[in-house]
Amino acid sequence: MIEPPGPLAKNIIERDCDVMSSCLARPYPLVIDRAEGVTVTDVEGREYIDFVAGIAVMNVGHSNPAVSEAIIAQLAKISHCGFPDFFAEPPVRLAERLKQMTGYDQVFYCNSGTESVEAAIKLAMWKSHKQGLVGFYGGFHGRTLGSLSLTCSKVKHKAHFPAIRTVHSHYAYCFRCPFNNEYPDCGIQCAAYIEDVIFKRELSPDDTAAIVVEPVQGEGGYIVPPPEFHKEVRRICDDHNLLMVADEVQAGCYRTGTFMAMENFGVRADIVCMAKALGGGLPLGAMLSSSDIMDWPPGTHSNTFGGNLLASAASLASLEYMEKEDLGGHAKELGGHIMKRLREMQAEYPAIGDVRGLGLMIGIELVKPDGSVDPDTRDRIILEGYKEGIILLSCGDSVIRFSPPLVITKEEADAGLDRFEVALKKVIRS
Ligand SMILES: Cc1ncc(COP(=O)(O)O)c(C=O)c1O
Kindly report, residue by residue over 44-74, the tens digit of the pLDDT: 999 999 999 999 999 999 999 999 999 999 9
Instruction: Give the pairing of strands 271-274 and 243-247.
Output: parallel
What does the pLDDT read at residue 429? 87
What does the pLDDT read at residue 430? 81
Q: Report how far ligand 1's centroid is from the alpha carbon of 374 (Å).
A: 25
Whether 160 shows a pLDDT value over 80: the answer reads yes
Residue 392 lies in a domain: yes
**C-alpha dist (Å) from residue 249 to 114, 118, 274, 308, 315:** 9, 12, 4, 18, 14
Residue 1 lies in a domain: no
Claim to verify: residue 144 and residue 240 sit in the same structural domain: yes
Residues paired with 132 in a beta bridge: 208
Give the ligand 1 atom nearest the CA of 219: 16
Claim to verify: residue 40 and residue 88 sit in the same structural domain: no
Claim to verify: residue 58 and residue 99 sit in the same structural domain: no
Average pLDDT over residues 306-313: 98
The closest of 248, 287, 291, 237 to 105, measured between CA atoms, is 291
What is the DSSP secondary-structure string of 337-403? Answer: HHHHHHHHHHHH-TTEEEEEEETTEEEEEEB-TTS-B-HHHHHHHHHHHHHHTEE-EEETTTEEEE-
Give the ligand 1 atom nearest the CA of 218: 16
Claim to verify: residue 298 and residue 341 sit in the same structural domain: no
Claim to verify: residue 271 and residue 172 sit in the same structural domain: yes
Claim to verify: residue 352 and residue 282 sit in the same structural domain: no
Q: Report how far ligand 1's centroid is from the alpha carbon of 286 (Å).
A: 12
Rounded CA separation 64/60 (Å) = 6
Of 285, 301, 324, the position where a domain reaches its end is: 324
Q: Report how far ligand 1's centroid is from the alpha carbon of 184 (Å).
A: 30
| CATH code of the domain containing 333 | 3.90.1150.10
Whether 133 shows a pLDDT value over 80: the answer reads yes
The residue whose CA has the least distance to atom 8 of ligand 1 is: 113
Q: Report how far ligand 1's centroid is from the alpha carbon of 119 (Å).
A: 13
Residue 26 lies in a domain: yes
Q: Report how far ligand 1's centroid is from the alpha carbon of 275 (Å).
A: 8
The single-letter DSSP state of residue 314 is H
Q: Report how far ligand 1's centroid is from the alpha carbon of 284 (Å).
A: 12
Residue 335 lies in a domain: yes
- Which segments within 61-121 are labelled E, that is strand? 106-110
Burial (CB count within 10 angstroms: exposed 0-12, middle 13-18, buried 19+), residue 83: buried
Q: Is the Cβ–Cβ distance between 102 and 289 less than 8 Å?
A: no
Give the ligand 1 atom nearest the CA of 117: 4
158 CB neighbour count, 10 Å cutoff: 15
Instruction: Choose the residue to mutate in 59, 250, 260, 399 for probing ligand 1, maximizing ligand atoms within 8 Å of C-beta.
Output: 250
Of 324, 346, 361, the position where a domain reaches its end is: 324
Query: Any residues with Cβ below 6 Å from ligand 1, and which?
Result: 112-114, 117, 140-142, 214, 218-219, 247, 249-250, 275
What does the pLDDT read at residue 1? 75
Whether 4 shows a pLDDT value over 90: the answer reads no
Provide the residue range defining the domain that includes 133: 65-324
Average pLDDT over residues 411-430: 96
**C-alpha dist (Å) from residue 192 to 187, 244, 245, 353, 402:** 8, 16, 18, 27, 31
Claim to verify: residue 335 and residue 307 sit in the same structural domain: no
Of the pLDDT bands very low, low, confident and very high (cuts 50, 70, 90), residue 85 is very high
**SS3 state of residue 289:** strand
Rounded CA separation 390/52 (Å) = 9
Q: Is the Cβ–Cβ distance between 254 and 59 less than 8 Å?
A: yes
Of the pLDDT bands very low, low, confident and very high (cuts 50, 70, 90), residue 14 is very high
Peptide bond into 297 cis (omega under 30): no
> How many domains are there within the chain?
2
Whether 405 shows a pLDDT value over 80: the answer reads yes
Rounded CA separation 394/417 (Å) = 16
Of the pLDDT bands very low, low, confident and very high (cuts 50, 70, 90), residue 397 is very high
Claim to verify: residue 228 and residue 298 sit in the same structural domain: yes
| CATH code of the domain containing 176 | 3.40.640.10
Q: Is the Cβ–Cβ distance between 55 and 277 less than 8 Å?
A: no
Q: Report how far ligand 1's centroid is from the alpha carbon of 167 (Å).
A: 19
Of the pLDDT bands very low, low, confident and very high (cuts 50, 70, 90), residue 262 is very high
Residue 97 lies in a domain: yes
Instruction: Choose the residue to mutate in 115, 171, 247, 276 for probing ligand 1, maximizing ligand atoms within 8 Å of C-beta.
Output: 276
The closest of 99, 47, 401 to 272, measured between CA atoms, is 99
**Non-local CB neighbours of 376 within 8 Å, separated by 6+ positions:** none
Give the ligand 1 atom nearest the CA of 115: 11
Claim to verify: residue 338 and residue 222 sit in the same structural domain: no
pTM of the model: 0.98
What does the pLDDT read at residue 2? 85
Element (H, E) at 243: strand 243-247
Rounded CA separation 217/188 (Å) = 16
What does the pLDDT read at residue 230? 98
Mean of pLDDT over the chain? 97
Instruction: Give the pairing of strands 32-36 and 39-42.
Output: antiparallel
Residue 2 lies in a domain: no
Q: Report how far ligand 1's centroid is from the alpha carbon of 114 (Å).
A: 6
Of 276, 295, 324, the position where a domain reaches its end is: 324
Instruction: Give the pairing of strands 243-247 and 208-213.
Output: parallel
Of the pLDDT bands very low, low, confident and very high (cuts 50, 70, 90), residue 161 is very high
Claim to verify: residue 266 and residue 205 sit in the same structural domain: yes
Rounded CA separation 101/6 (Å) = 46
What does the pLDDT read at residue 5? 86
Claim to verify: residue 50 and residue 102 sit in the same structural domain: no
Claim to verify: residue 273 and residue 410 sit in the same structural domain: no
Rounded CA separation 96/114 (Å) = 23
Q: Is the Cβ–Cβ distance between 405 and 37 less than 8 Å?
A: yes
Residue 333 lies in a domain: yes
Average pLDDT over residues 306-335: 98
Element (H, E) at 16: helix 7-19
Radius of gyration of the chain (CA): 21
Whether 200 shows a pLDDT value over 80: the answer reads yes
The residue whose CA has the least distance to atom 7 of ligand 1 is: 113
Give the ligand 1 atom nearest the CA of 214: 1
Residue 224 lies in a domain: yes
